[in-house]
Amino acid sequence: MSTMQNGVGEDMSNATGAATRILQEANQMRQERQQHMRQRRTLDITDQFIDASQRLKPGVLIKDESFTLFEAVGALEIMDDKMDSGYVPPGDTFEADFDPSQDLSPQQAIWIMDELLRLEMLFHAGYPLSQNVFTSLHIFRLIDPENRNPYPFDFGHNVGHKQPLVHTVLHAYCIAVLKCCDLALRCIQSQIYFEEEDFVTSLFGRELCIQLGPQEALTLLTDAITWLEESTLDRAFVEQITLRLSIRKEMLFCFDEPLPLAQDYWARLRVELVNLKLQPQSDEECHKAFSDKVQRQLATSTPPRPMPRLALKDALEQWLQMCDDAIAAQQLSCTDFVRHPISLLTSTWKFGYRLPEPVTLARAKMQESLTWEEGGDYDGGATELLLADIREKVLPGDWIAERDSFSIEMPTDKRHKTSRIFLDFMSQGLGDYINLYRMVCQNRSRMRRMLTQATILWDELESKAKDFDQELNNIAARSFRCGHAPLGPLALWTKLQKLQICEWTVQVGFETDIFQADELGIMYELLGWFAGRRRMHLEAIQYQLHVWPGAESYQPIFRARMKASRAWKERELSLCTATQLLAEASSLLYRYLQSCELIERRDRKTYFKVEEQYEARMKPFLGMQSDVIPRADKLYASAIGRSSHVPFDSTRSAISRCVAEAKKCLETLKASPDEEGKKPLKPLFVVCIAVSTTLARLDQIRRSHSVNEHKSSSAASLKRYAEVIIQPPGAKRHDDWWIVPEVRAKK
């Protein structure tokens, strides 16, 4: 026992000694540091830094492993009022000194409501909440992390008198604003969108009054309207405030319901907004109720964005435009369009190309209307849309694609077996099919990226469709043929969709201006190749309908479907042929301009490599197992040693022939009774005229300067007299998908 006590005593003595020694060392270090601090002074090393940097060769970078680019940029941002949202200038306060619970005049309350409506539109335009809605000190008080239901304005403050205009009316309005933002965020985040590009969904560490739902917000608005009607306020003010509260109620209905169930909410909201637009603006402003200082208290690692100046009248115009977009999308979600997927796809493209471009919420609502009934089994919605598409395009008069076949429960019945095969196929292709509609609702750059990703997915689906077709052929005891290759209805339908996607990929590439000038001829040649392949398969399907219509086609309903399907295929054949011919004409025109050196040719640069260029541009199509695109030695013929001389006379004849035949195809389409189908034809006629004009202008310049193409110097001589202008994307182009070069004589 005594030995143990001695051991414990020694340990305690050692511990005490160690603690004393550490304390002494700490005091010594503190004294040395204080002495060093007294001796430290500021030294300007700017000249030394500049001298050292001048000794570095271009491209040389000196970097410390522990001081990365993030730290470097962060150091530049500190104390910069444009980059550092937490910077407090000298003489300023950290927080705004406005109290949201204080009394307001009716004019001030009206102005605050209008200002919130204006700022909310900036949020829908894609700017962060921290720079618009959250700058309202009333809103900022509601989203305080410590504030709880019912989220009062006087949270954390002792307020004796509570003005109902602020604590009942304005409070209800602000709660409704937050719930509208919350519903918009939920809708957008449930669909395909792209963060930062389309929308900013960050809440910066705050919550949008999650303990209250849309119904509670509606109740608060109703109570506020009731108080106004019973109040002693001037009737003019009561009417103005009531109108703004009614607008909020309609917004909650619009944002909360999917478009197919929204009834006439958006139309009513538009009427209310028009009434608000006709009213005079409040002349008693209350700017102190808004402050950018709130950003100092929000969790963010990104600097504030430059904000556009948006007047209230312009914001109201944008709100009205959103209503128009939502109403247009709502019309597409009716059951009639679901029964006609071809019309739905055409209308979806029309919606995606509305001007001005629909805001993200309207595009999300459009996507929502396409997918809100999506289910795994055959119960309508997206599955019915997919089945109707297959039926209209490849099986218009066949019992295996009829809806009644899916209600057969007898396992031995052929219709039951084929319906199970169809359901298995549709379950695998439903997502990719719906994305054909949803991708049109994206911005152009993202649309093209989604199209490039879809090509391989549809090629894989085509290989799976062949297996399903084999099962269908075995059960139905029939066979389909496309040319010399046996293809069933599902494989034919999938191939048609894939080739259409390939065409769109190239065409949207022209619209987004991703191709260099010397690549346009190559890409138009590729576009013509895809259009020709699709035309070939359309002809094969049309042949099947004539040769083997099926016994059921003699019934009236099937005869009507066969007639409609043939009409669609004839229209698509004409469009495919016109596209192929115009693409061929454009390709020939660009190749001639390149041969004359009117367009710079990168293939003559030392850094140019055909293989790398081919792989970069054709990457979306290189993985396809069927419909393999032409090789590089064909598309880039002039870059690998073939003759680059292109005679003008033969080129002019070929282009003129293509344009003339394309016009005939378009004239055939123009004779159709479908008025909506005629609208896209007008730009194509203009493109035909523009190509002919460019060709005539070239001929005129050649003749006026006696350019002889048989001489070796003809290219250089034409370059002296003419120049080519390729218009950027915008209003000066005849069509976004058809870039026609302009030839002008040099002055």
Which is nearest to 713 in space by CA: 50, 185, 721, 614? Answer: 721
Per-residue confidence band for 549, with pLDDT thresholds at 50, 70 and 90: very low
Task: Give the mean pLDDT of 76-103.
Answer: 79
Phi, psi of 482 (to 5 degrees): -120, 100
DSSP-derived pairing of the beta strands 722-725 and 742-745 = antiparallel
- pTM of the full structure: 0.83
Task: Give the mean pLDDT of 537-565.
Answer: 70
Count the alpha carbons within 13 Å of 726 in the hemisphere toward its beta carbon.
20
Count the alpha carbons within 13 Å of 739 in the hemisphere toward its beta carbon.
29
Q: What whole-number distance in Å separates Cα of residue 199 and Cα of residue 189?
A: 10
Q: What whole-number distance in Å separates Cα of residue 455 and Cα of residue 159?
A: 64
| Structure tokens, 527 | 């576009």
The pLDDT value recorded for residue 272 is 97
Query: With contact defined as beta carbons under 8 Å apart, do 499 and 461 qualify?
Result: no
Q: What is the mean pLDDT of the chain?
A: 85
The pLDDT value recorded for residue 712 is 45
Q: Who has greater pLDDT, 94 or 380?
A: 94
Of 259-273, 285-299, 704-718, the range with the lowest mean pLDDT is 704-718
The pLDDT value recorded for residue 35 is 64
Q: Who has greater pLDDT, 484 or 681?
A: 681
End-to-end CA distance of the chain: 114
Q: What whole-number distance in Å separates Cα of residue 345 and Cα of residue 438?
A: 10
Q: Who has greater pLDDT, 550 or 105?
A: 105
| Structure tokens, 478 | 């029939």
pLDDT digits (tens, 9 = 90+) for 470-488: 888 888 766 655 555 567 8
Q: What whole-number distance in Å separates Cα of residue 636 and Cα of residue 516?
A: 14
The pLDDT value recorded for residue 41 is 65
Which amino acid, residue 686? V
Q: Who has greater pLDDT, 594 or 482?
A: 594
| Structure tokens, 6 | 């001695």
Q: Check residue 157 and report its DSSP letter.
A: S
pLDDT digits (tens, 9 = 90+) for 499-546: 999 999 999 999 999 999 999 999 999 999 999 999 998 988 877 665
Q: Check residue 102 and report its DSSP letter.
A: S
Which is nearest to 659 in space by CA: 623, 691, 634, 627? Answer: 691
Q: What whole-number distance in Å separates Cα of residue 62 and Cα of residue 64?
A: 7
Of 120-134, 510-524, 555-569, the range with the lowest mean pLDDT is 555-569
Q: What whole-number distance in Å separates Cα of residue 423 and Cα of residue 464?
A: 13
Per-residue confidence band for 3, with pLDDT thresholds at 50, 70 and 90: very low
With a pLDDT cut of 90, the percent of the chain lying above it is: 53
**In the predicted structure, residue 608 carries a pLDDT above the cut 60:** yes
Measuring CA to CA, how many Å separate 121 from each of 253, 285, 310, 602, 721? 17, 19, 9, 46, 52
Per-residue confidence band for 302, with pLDDT thresholds at 50, 70 and 90: confident
